[in-house]
Structure 1
């Protein structure tokens, strides 16, 4: 059957093989533009913000393929919505090009709450942003360190550093407004319980300084203030003055002190 091949010279067979190779090459490169759809281009549609199923359908209808490449968590868009696409909208690319999508996660990842107390508001804001957390309400309270974070809250309660919270959570910050300009007499805390003294300090926009507790005290909240600094009055009987944001040191005892009742009576008026 193959006698006509085997009986021909090697040179003839070689030339035939070369001719066949070139023929196949010509056919292949002629069909290559058709296979690869060379020259067929399409503008990438905008699918940002769409649900994943809608985005895939829109891309396939335009002649593209879609593939989820990554996921993030953004609290301002719905779960499984497209956050980013590559190539971006408006890019002119080949038909059948794969468009890579970044979608929003369905559940917010948990992150450890940082310790913001003592930081400036700007530093605290940057740290929250780096942890994908948000600044919620800002409440100002008199204190000597102006515009620093005094406390961090979540739902009205103190939020300790290290507590796990969802990304996108809004954190309330208590900030220092600095000391006030108006001076007022130091309140008298002697004989009050520690809980009562704290309420008065808060109402007076004053801070609790050092709290020195006697060893006999077992219930701090109901312990009695027997000494304070600054005192209500100075050595000559004048009121000591404080400004909003300043601190008062309290000394606590289990026994209620006896207050001095020997203050001179007011002079009688002549009729």
Structure 2
């Protein structure tokens, strides 16, 4: 074989090499479409909601590659189920294209509860959504600051800002409905314990305002109300009026105030 090559002139051998190069190039470009699967497209199947292992197996059998790109916590699908896919279901893509999957985490990450009190409902809703928390029940309560958050509850109990809770948790919001339009006489809290006054305030849809505590008080709940603003009656003996959602300021003392029974009796009769 080498004798055949060496007996030929350099120019002949060069032409043979060039011809061989062109033949190989022609074969390569003619096979390029087959190698790259040019023009072949497949429809992306829907693997959302399927277990990630099952989804990857289905995609590979359909002629695609699969890669888990991200994970997210949602409580509407089982753990390790596919939440989203890119390209989306029904897209026409090239054979061998990589389908990126987003799957649900097995354990919910912990989120620090924000302080929503004083926010408007819309602002509180956006804050919860940004932290991947959900608005649960909404409870409306009379208060002068209309449409603001009065309390935030988790599992029926008030939750402090900074408390860690699972992502996706539902937060109940107590929202101010504004003050009522009907005026009622101010209740008489003098002589009641603070615990009793709180119950009466709640029953009357009123709020505790500023609470002034005497230094002698050791047990706030059992301390006595010795003064309130607004008072039951004004200087000329007429009832002061208050609307639902307004506040009453209270002064607390360890000593029960002495009341004049002759003055209290008419008020009790009026209440009856």
Give me the TM-score of the superposition, normalised by structure 1: 0.91
The answer to whether 1:183 aligns with 2:183 is yes
Of residues 181-190 and 51-60 in structure 1, the stretch that sits farther from structure 2 once superposed is 51-60
Give the deviation of 1:74 after TM superposition: 1.7
The answer to whether 1:213 aligns with 2:227 is no
The answer to whether 1:107 aligns with 2:107 is yes
Secondary structure, counterpart of 2:263 in structure 1: coil
C-alpha distance in 2 between matches for 1:30 and 1:143? 80
Q: Which has the larger share of helix?
A: 2
Matched with 2:270 is: none
Secondary structure, counterpart of 1:34 in structure 2: helix
The unaligned stretches of length 5 or more in structure 1 are 267-271
Give the deviation of 1:57 after TM superposition: 2.7
C-alpha distance in 2 between matches for 1:112 and 1:231? 42
Provide the alpha-carbon RMSD of the alignment.
1.9
Q: Which runs of 4+ in 1 moved over 6 A?
A: none
C-alpha distance in 2 between matches for 1:222 and 1:38? 85
Matched with 1:149 is: 149
* 1:50-95 Cα deviation digits (max 9, x unpaired): 2212322322232222111111122222221111111111111222
Matched with 2:200 is: 200
The answer to whether 1:26 aligns with 2:26 is yes
Matched with 1:94 is: 94
Matched with 1:243 is: 243
Of residues 105-114 and 34-43 in structure 1, the stretch that sits farther from structure 2 once superposed is 34-43
Give the deviation of 1:16 after TM superposition: 2.5
C-alpha distance in 2 between matches for 1:152 and 1:172? 6
The unaligned stretches of length 5 or more in structure 2 are 267-272
Matched with 1:269 is: none
